[in-house]
Amino acid sequence: MSNQHLPQISIIITTFNNEQTIDECLKSIFRLNYPKNLIEVILVDGASKDKTLEIARNYPIKIISEPLNAPAAYNLAIKQVDSNIVGFIDSDAKVDPNWLCTLVKDLVDPKIAGTSGSIETWNKENKWARVIGYDLQSRYNRIKQTVIRIATMNLLMKKDIIIKVGGFDEKLSSQYDTDFGLRVTEKGYKIILNSKAKCYHFNRSNLSSYFKQQLQYGKNTIKLYFKHNKLIKGDEITDIGMNLQPPLFLLSILLFFLGFITILKPLWYLSAGILCSLFIYYGFSAVRISIKFSDNTALLLIIIYFARLIAWSAGAISTLINFLLGKSGDN
């Protein structure tokens, strides 16, 4: 694709208290090997209280400040975009200089609605961020090329198709990209992963922040599965094995408490058996990834997996309780 045929691109970034990463994120966009006059950057800030906006104002971008969640921010920004191709880059991500040139070629195909680059870890020096990245990379490596959904962390989409499917679901503060991707592919369009385009994500750097993130995922995953129940069987990124783990964990807890009834005491053995099976499975997965990436630190994935399991289970229970009480709960 020659320069005279390159399309105008509007890149949307949503932020909230991202002073640690927003500078490098924006810097990477303005270093793209793409004509600068063909790139528009729109940043929607959800009322940050740190130096995010102060840093962002150093760049020639359009800034919208509204206390919105990410999907609502995307929908607002899309209404102000003239380009027919919209890029999404997370405020805690940065892209390779060839990211845009590589991806834009994929959209020549009329059946391809969106294309995304591969995800690598930005802050590899932090052990927790590094092992979280190993897990994410291993899951994304299962994608052959076409995928039913992909994260908006780094994504290029055709605007007319975004409008056609109704944009993003603002009731989902996370998992909205999964819902969006599914609605796009259900219309017969394709979303692909192009591993030649590189994105680097700033992963959670401690167990506490990772748990909070996964707790939110757990809350919205239940809402997502109510909306698209076929997702329960899993896909390339989140397979059936991952989906079965929270129900098994909750079952083990139920069996444990039932075991306090004298006649049902043998259920303790079944409860322990489920937990031991999960531990063995996590241990096997961690060892396999440790060998794959030649890094013994990957054994920390056993802790990461259990943290995610507890967070997803707690999030699911929270959403179900709110549903039974007639409350909408947290998005």
The pLDDT, as a whole number, for residue 234 is 80
- Mapped onto helix, strand or coil, the DSSP state of residue 28 is helix
Residues 256 and 301 in one domain: yes
Q: Give the pair of three-digit tokens for residue 165.
A: 């499917």
User: Which DSSP string do the residues of 264-282 spell out, in sequence order?
Assistant: GTTHHHHHHHHHHHHHHHH
Q: Is residue 219 included in any domain, yes or no? A: no
Residues 83 and 139 in one domain: yes
Q: Is residue 313 included in any domain, yes or no? A: yes
Residues 68 and 130 in one domain: yes
- Which of 201, 191, 197 is closest to 99 using CA atoms? 197
Residues 20 and 99 in one domain: yes
Q: How many domains does the chain have?
A: 2
Q: Residue 156 forms beta bridges with which residues?
A: 87, 115
Range of the domain at 253: 226-324
Cα–Cα distance, 216 to 175 (Å, whole number): 9
Residues 96 and 189 in one domain: yes
Print burial letters for 106-117: b (CB count within 10 Å at least 16), e (below 16). bbeeeebbbbbb
19 pLDDT exceeds 90?
A: yes
Residues 277 and 170 in one domain: no
Q: Is residue 269 included in any domain, yes or no? A: yes
CB neighbourhood size of 269 (10 A): 10
User: Which DSSP string do the residues of 188-201 spell out, in sequence order?
Assistant: T-EEEEEEEEEEEE
- CATH number reported for the structural domain that contains residue 104 in this entry: 3.90.550.10
pLDDT tens string 162-196: 999 999 999 998 899 999 999 999 999 999 999 99
CB 239 within 8 A of CB 285: no
Residues 20 and 153 in one domain: yes
Residues 7 and 77 in one domain: yes
pLDDT tens string 107-147: 999 999 999 999 999 999 999 999 999 999 999 888 888 88
- The mean per-residue pLDDT over the stretch 312-326 comes to 91
Q: Is residue 310 included in any domain, yes or no? A: yes
- Which of 110, 231, 106 is closest to 161 using CA atoms? 110
2 pLDDT exceeds 60?
A: no
Residues 29 and 116 in one domain: yes
Write the burial class of residue 243 (CB in 10 Å: 0-12 exposed, 13-18 middle, 19+ buried): middle
Q: Is residue 217 included in any domain, yes or no? A: no
- The mean per-residue pLDDT over the stretch 86-93 comes to 97
- The mean per-residue pLDDT over the stretch 302-319 comes to 96
Residues 185 and 259 in one domain: no
The pLDDT, as a whole number, for residue 312 is 96
Residues 261 and 120 in one domain: no
Please state the pTM of the whole predicted model.
0.91
- The mean per-residue pLDDT over the stretch 11-23 comes to 97
**228 vs 311, residue with greater confidence:** 311
Domain boundary among 205, 239, 258: 205
Residues 110 and 234 in one domain: no
